[in-house]
Amino acid sequence: MARAVRFERYGGIEELRVVEVPTPTAGPGQVVVEVVVAGTNPGEAKVREGMFAERWPATFPSGQGSDFAGRIAEVGAGVENFQVGDEVLGWTDERAAQTTHVAAPAGQVTPKPAGLSWEIAGGLWVAGTTAVGATRAVGVKAGETVAVSGAAGGVGSIAVQLLRRAGVRVIGIASAGTHDWLRSFGVIPVAYGDGLIDRIRAAAPDGIDAFVDTYGFGYVELALELGIPVDRIDTIRDWDAAAKYGVQVDGNAAGSSVEALAELAASAAAGELEIPIAAVYPLDKVQEAYRELEQQHTHGKIVLRP
Ligand SMILES: NC(=O)c1ccc[n+]([C@@H]2O[C@H](COP(=O)([O-])OP(=O)(O)OC[C@H]3O[C@@H](n4cnc5c(N)ncnc54)[C@H](OP(=O)(O)O)[C@@H]3O)[C@@H](O)[C@H]2O)c1
């Protein structure tokens, strides 16, 4: 038997349970991975609460989680490039990563580079590929200035580094506790709250060329007020504002590919991409993990160890 996170109906954190389930088997083209670390992401909390019940409904009992890293435990028919025991990271689209054993298409896993920690590998796919999609959407050129809201969160902390690597000046909107961390990458930190637009203008007197919003709640309007054209604003959260103003919404779906995941993993292993691990919880403490995540002040990633 395997153990996996389950919830039986939409609701609060108390709906999350860890239960025994049949160990999955590898269908054709699939691998089964014995999970060492699984990621957590805010979108999963929204699914559990029923906020996406129309757009992306859950079927009950529902599993949870997309990102994972672990060792191949079984290889399905037709899979040539992996063997039992290989260390990999990857993702599932079945809301099934938070478990001891997950089945996934072999095309959604990639070898874990030596030197990449399990914690980083297990939480990389959603945040990493979303940062790739969102930063690519605003089409930056070296020498430009880009503002990022939620700059030290799971997605934001990767987005600011990708932008810095592209030769961009980055204004990182975040609370004071992460300003030193942001500065260590050459990001100019700006605190959110009253007077934010004046602080941004003071930090970037020549103007802001593009805006990557990972937080929502008014940042699209702020970007428009800063005079940024709609095709150079991307929000991964505020779809209402996007529909109203015509700004971009590229995120995970736009940035995801196994190649992009492999590239992020290689960069992190080489020390060119830093992913802060805010907390590691045992799988049984999944409720505590989401209690912390849902405060919306995570610096980097919160991950689970089955
Ligand atoms: N569309 C997509 O494809 C996609 C993919 C992934 C995620 N998302 C969504 O994107 C959002 C961010 O995801 P995530 O994984 O990066 O979340 P996260 O790791 O929980 O980070 C949230 C960040 O928001 C910051 N924050 C809190 N209050 C803020 C405020 N008033 N102004 C600016 N920043 C503030 C926090 O920083 P401080 O500690 O500094 O407050 C924290 O670092 C979530 O809503 C998620 O559901 C969308």
Residue nearest to atom 33 of ligand 1 (CA): 150
Residue 138 shares a structural domain with residue 41: no
Residue 170 shares a structural domain with residue 246: yes
Query: Measuring from each residue's beta carbon to the nearest atom of ligand 1, which residues come in under 6 Å?
Result: 41-43, 126-127, 130, 149-150, 152-156, 173-175, 178, 192, 214-215, 236-237, 251-252, 293, 296-299
**Rounded Cα distance, 274 and 158, in Å:** 8
The alpha carbon of 237 and the centre of ligand 1 are apart by a number of angstroms equal to 8
The alpha carbon of 236 and the centre of ligand 1 are apart by a number of angstroms equal to 9
Q: Is 269 a member of any domain?
A: no
Residue 249 shares a structural domain with residue 131: yes
The alpha carbon of 174 and the centre of ligand 1 are apart by a number of angstroms equal to 10
Sign of the CA dihedral running 20, 21, 25, 26: negative
Question: What is the amino acid identity at position 155?
Answer: V
250, 133 in Cβ contact below 8 A? yes
Question: What is the amino acid identity at position 198?
Answer: D
Q: Show the domain range for 50.
A: 2-124+275-305
Atom of ligand 1 nearest to the CA of 173: 33
**Rounded Cα distance, 236 and 1, in Å:** 37
The CATH number of residue 144's host domain is 3.40.50.720
Atom of ligand 1 nearest to the CA of 193: 31
Q: Is 240 a member of any domain?
A: yes
Residue nearest to atom 1 of ligand 1 (CA): 236
The alpha carbon of 138 and the centre of ligand 1 are apart by a number of angstroms equal to 18
Atom of ligand 1 nearest to the CA of 299: 43
| Nearest to 145, CA basis, from 213, 225, 212 | 212
- Give the chain's domain count: 2
The CATH number of residue 20's host domain is 3.90.180.10
Helix, strand, coil shares, percent, the chain, to 5: 35, 25, 40
Q: Is 59 a member of any domain?
A: yes
**Rounded Cα distance, 228 and 218, in Å:** 14
pTM over 0.85: yes
Residue 162 shares a structural domain with residue 88: no
Question: What is the amino acid identity at position 31?
Answer: V
Q: What is the pLDDT along the chain (306 residues), one digit of tens a residue?
A: 999 999 999 999 999 999 999 999 999 999 999 999 999 999 999 999 999 999 999 999 999 999 999 999 999 999 999 999 999 999 999 999 999 999 999 999 999 999 999 999 999 999 999 999 999 999 999 999 999 999 999 999 999 999 999 999 999 999 999 999 999 999 999 999 999 999 999 999 999 999 999 999 999 999 999 999 999 999 999 999 999 999 999 999 999 999 999 999 999 999 999 999 999 999 999 999 999 999 999 999 999 999
Residue 89 shares a structural domain with residue 49: yes
Residue 105 shares a structural domain with residue 49: yes
Residue 19 shares a structural domain with residue 96: yes
The alpha carbon of 215 and the centre of ligand 1 are apart by a number of angstroms equal to 5
Residue 141 shares a structural domain with residue 240: yes
Residue 120 shares a structural domain with residue 136: no
Q: Is 270 a member of any domain?
A: no
Residues 6 or more apart in contact with residue 134 via CB below 8 angstroms? 155, 159, 212, 214, 234, 236, 250, 251, 254, 255
Q: Is 109 a member of any domain?
A: yes
Residue 138 shares a structural domain with residue 230: yes
Phi, psi of 44 (to 5 degrees): -65, -35
Residue 99 shares a structural domain with residue 208: no
Residue identified by tokens 């070296």 is 142
Residue 117 shares a structural domain with residue 134: no
214, 126 in Cβ contact below 8 A? no
| Nearest to 305, CA basis, from 276, 277, 274, 283 | 283
Neighbours of 98 (CB within 10 A): 30
The alpha carbon of 132 and the centre of ligand 1 are apart by a number of angstroms equal to 15
Mean pLDDT for the chain overall: 98
| Nearest to 133, CA basis, from 290, 24, 253 | 253
Q: Is 262 a member of any domain?
A: no
Q: Is 268 a member of any domain?
A: no
**Rounded Cα distance, 229 and 211, in Å:** 9
The alpha carbon of 269 and the centre of ligand 1 are apart by a number of angstroms equal to 24
**Rounded Cα distance, 232 and 134, in Å:** 10
Our mutation pick for probing the ligand 1 site, out of 125, 136, 155, counting the most ligand atoms within 8 A of Cβ, is 155
The alpha carbon of 199 and the centre of ligand 1 are apart by a number of angstroms equal to 20
Residues 6 or more apart in contact with residue 198 via CB below 8 angstroms? none
Specify the pairing of strand 210-213 against strand 30-39. Answer: unpaired
Q: Is 228 a member of any domain?
A: yes
Residue identified by tokens 């593009």 is 210
